[in-house]
Every structure is written in C-alpha cells, then in structure tokens.
Structure 1
C-alpha cells in the first residue's frame, strides 16, 4: 500500500501530531506522521517556533544585559530556521551517503519538526528563568537527541542503533560548526559593547 502525502496540514494538526510524538515516543509513532506533511509544512511549523521564541526572548532581553531587544528578535528569527535546515539537511545527506538511508528530505524535515518545534518553544519559555536556563537547555538537548534518534530511524529508515547514533553525531558536528559561525556573526552584530 502506497502512502499519499498530505502536503499542507494546519498548525493545529501539526501540534496534535507533536503531542502524539512527545507523549508516545516510538519509531512507529513517527512513521504514522512522516508522510502527512512536506518540507513547506515543516518550515512553516519551524517558523512558528522561531517567531514565538523570538518574541519571548526579545521581551525578556532587558533582563539580560548582554543582548539587545532587536538582537534577540532577529537572531532567533534567523538562527532557528537556519539551524533546523542545517541539521535536517545533514541528517538527510549523511544518512543517504554513509548509511544508505532510503527516506526523503521531506520525511526528515517533517518528522524532526514535530518534536523540534514544541521543545524549542518550551526551552525558550523555561529558559528565561536565569537559574534554570542552563539546566533546561541540557534537558531539552537530551530530549532532542532522544526524539532525533527515533526520527532518524523512521524518516531515513536507518534501523540499527549504531548507525542511528553515528548519523546523529555526524549531523550534530555539522550543526555545531554552523552554529559557531552564526554565533560569531550575531555576537558581532547584536551584543552591547
């Protein structure tokens, strides 16, 4: 039986799918949704996370002397979608090239968006509390790794644990390098001197 993609689910539909993925984490849960949206849906959903995170961070920027209101706003509007694109692109290309993954970029982007968006927003909301910021960041990072591991198995059809872990590590390295470059650019543009 061939699956037919639903290329434009609503934000409410994607939120419901995110709730299912987060509350019932498994490869099977991701596989239920991987064909229900495409690249455009994934990036629309990621832009929601970027806008929400940017507004929250910008509002609380006055409490953090090192970053300006507009610095928080612009940096999050740019870095969240770019980071998502870099990481999911790395998962797709490295998965195809090194691990003979059979998924499509649309499957990767959509399945990753389903957990990335709510965890990003949650991390921003809780991260505004200064004492909890680093702890929340660490916990959100662990959750992203866990859900990413399940999403890799589903979207790229990489089924062995070792290959899934290696794919995430290599993609994480690509993401880290790009993040350092972006951090340097934004630091020079938006940090108060």
Structure 2
C-alpha cells in the first residue's frame, strides 16, 4: 500500500511514463508529492543496479576495466551523483532564488525522468556508433526534463532562475563526484598495487 510519501516502483514507472509523454511543469506538479525521498532513492538504485550489471558484463570489451570495478563504481557514483545534484538544486534554488519546494519533492521529481532515461542510456551505450548519438540525445532530454522539474519542484517559474539553478547544481555534482571518484579510484589502485595485480 502506498502513502503520500511512499510510492511503489510500479506507480513510479507509470508516473515516469506520464512525465516523459507529456512533459510540462504541470505534469511534474501532479506527482511531486506522491512519493518521498525513500521512494526516489529506491528508484535511483534500480537505475544504478541496471547500469552496474550492464557495465560489468561489458567490462571485458575494454582494456583496464574490470567486472568488479564497474560494478562497484556504478553502484556508488550513480546514487551519489543523484543525491549531490538534487541536493544542490534544492539548496541553490532555495538560497539564491527563494524556491519553496522541499528536498523530497525535488528528489522525487528528478527521479521520475532520471531513472528511465539513464536505463535507456545504459542499454544504448553498448552500441558503438549509434550509442554516442543516442546518448547525446538522451543528455539533451535530461537537461530539458531537469529544466521542467526544477520549475515544478522548487516552484521557480522564472526560466533564468531555473537555468542558473541547474548549471550551478551540475557544477557542484561534477566537483563532488570527481573528488569521490578520485578517492575511490585511488583506493582501487592502491589495492591493486598491494596485491600485485
């Protein structure tokens, strides 16, 4: 049974389909309070697991990429990147532009488009030439849906404020995930050096 703060995965896939097929701040408004942070994180972990498994299975096709390295990195960086980005959207929107949304609304709204698009992106990424073009188009779609979601979840109807919020959040995500990724990579290399592999 679902409550106003806890939505099932099945419900979220249906809400994702609605958001993707009828993109507008009003569509996001319909769903932003139907789930909470826990629902958003469970949904994002589905994308992380799918991405991790696919990347790990195809790790053997690339030099210096290991099965467990791909598995571990995707399972950590995807949720961390999502939390960092949505947290930055919330803090920047609230601090700089007096946005009135809550963090659970932001996380839930962004999860509704992020999860299906990232799963499609991961599935397409294994196709060499076509994969790059489709991934570029999916990246553009993510930007567009993010623009709509920030307008809805933070109640920032001014387009400039929404764009500035997204750009600053993207920079914050790059910095945080870069630092964490560097630390994880360093630990992985140290482990390989110690074991001699």
1:91 to 85, 89, 92: 89
* Paired position in structure 1 for 2:115: 117
* Paired position in structure 1 for 2:77: 79
2:61 to 55, 60, 63: 63
Q: Which has the larger radius of gyration?
A: 2
- Deviation above 6 Å: which 4+ runs of structure 1? none
2:141 to 140, 143, 156: 143
TM-score by length of 1: 0.92
8 A contact 1:53–1:121 mirrored in 2: yes
The CA distance in 2 between the partners of 1:127 and 1:185, in whole Å, is 25
1:43-62 deviation per Cα after TM superposition (whole angstroms, max 9, x unaligned): 01001111111111111111
* Runs (5+) with no aligned partner, structure 1: none
Match of 1:131, SS?
A: helix
Count matched residues: 189
The CA distance in 2 between the partners of 1:166 and 1:40, in whole Å, is 27
Q: How far is the alpha carbon of 1:189 from its aligned partner?
A: 4.7
The CA distance in 1 between the partners of 2:65 and 2:131, in whole Å, is 15
* Runs (5+) with no aligned partner, structure 2: none
Superposition CA RMSD, Å: 1.7
TM-score by length of 2: 0.90
The CA distance in 2 between the partners of 1:37 and 1:147, in whole Å, is 18
Q: How far is the alpha carbon of 1:67 from its aligned partner?
A: 1.3
The question of 1:13 aligning with 2:11 is answered yes
